[in-house]
Amino acid sequence: MPEFDRIVILTGAGISAESGVPTFRDKGGIWATYDYRDVATPEGFEKNPQLVHEFYNMRRRAHQSVAPNAAHFALALLEKTHPGAVTLITQNVDQLHEQAGSKNLIHMHGEALKGWCLGCGTRMPWLGDMFLETACPVCADVGTLRPDVVWFGEEPYHMERIIKELEQADLFISIGTSGNVYPAAGFVQVAAEYGAHTVELNLEPSEGRTHFAEAIHGPATDVVPAYVRRLLDAALT
């Protein structure tokens, strides 16, 4: 394996599946039970905020009872040990990457364990339930709180920085994402256009599989630690 200096990694729901967090589009996934238009769009929130709060209260509780798996830990080890830069971009709103020890982490779709007050603009850690009647702890406004997650139709966070990272990447790795949701699904093409080697690590070939130069299919807890070992062996020998 050639040596790579700057590594950029994109993760999706598949990396957390073996920790017990359901994915969205697999059989029995979240969008098989819920219509995303009801619970993950600004229009859905306007129409029925109580339902949206209930959905995120449930997910927030679930996220606090799971632990990182071998794939999350392998990426944290890569960041710590790789001689060059490692940037981790996640579409996941869980906190498993940071719990595993990743530091250079971008939550492009926000974080389930944060709240955002549309009244005063404050973003804050939020571990308990949130309701329409909950007052903002900062400005005391009522009815202005929402989960700090990016919904369909909203612009993902930190896009300028992400594009810069993709343009400078020598290696782009996509892990556990179906390649259905843009802009993340297009990152492989940006990185490839700017010269990066591109790799997909996923349970099965994704929607974007033809855009990757290399693909390894299997459960994240197998394929991610194995790939990280290969990278570290190449860099450190």
Active site residue 211: no
- Residue 232 CB, nearest approach to ligand APR (Å): 20
DSSP one-letter string for 70-95:
HHHHHHHHHHHH-SS-EEEEE---SS
How many whole angstroms separate alpha carbon 208 and alpha carbon 224? 19
What is the torsional sign of CA 128, 132, 135, 137? positive
Nearer to ligand APR, 210 or 237 (CB): 210
3-state secondary structure of 172: strand
- Residue 14 CB, nearest approach to ligand APR (Å): 2
Nearer to ligand APR, 12 or 225 (CB): 12
Contact residues: ligand APR, CB under 6 A: 12-14, 17-18, 23-26, 29, 91, 109, 176-178, 180-181, 202-204, 206, 219-220
- Residue 84 CB, nearest approach to ligand APR (Å): 25
Q: How many CB atoms sit inside 10 A of residue 202's CB? A: 25
Q: How many CB atoms sit inside 10 A of residue 206's CB? A: 23
Q: In what order do the strands lie in the sheet with 145-149?
A: 123-125, 110-117, 145-149
- Residue 187 CB, nearest approach to ligand APR (Å): 12
Q: Which of 87, 107, 82, 130 is CA-nearest to residue 235?
A: 82
Nearer to ligand APR, 133 or 204 (CB): 204
Nearer to ligand APR, 12 or 115 (CB): 12
- Residue 206 CB, nearest approach to ligand APR (Å): 5
How many whole angstroms separate alpha carbon 94 and alpha carbon 193? 30
Residue nearest to ligand APR (CB): 14
Q: Where are the beta strands (DSSP E) in the chain?
A: 7-11, 86-90, 105-107, 110-117, 123-125, 145-149, 171-175, 197-202, 214-217
Nearer to ligand APR, 23 or 144 (CB): 23
**Which residue in the list 97, 109, 197, 211 is annotated as catalytic?**
109
Residues assigned a catalytic role: 109
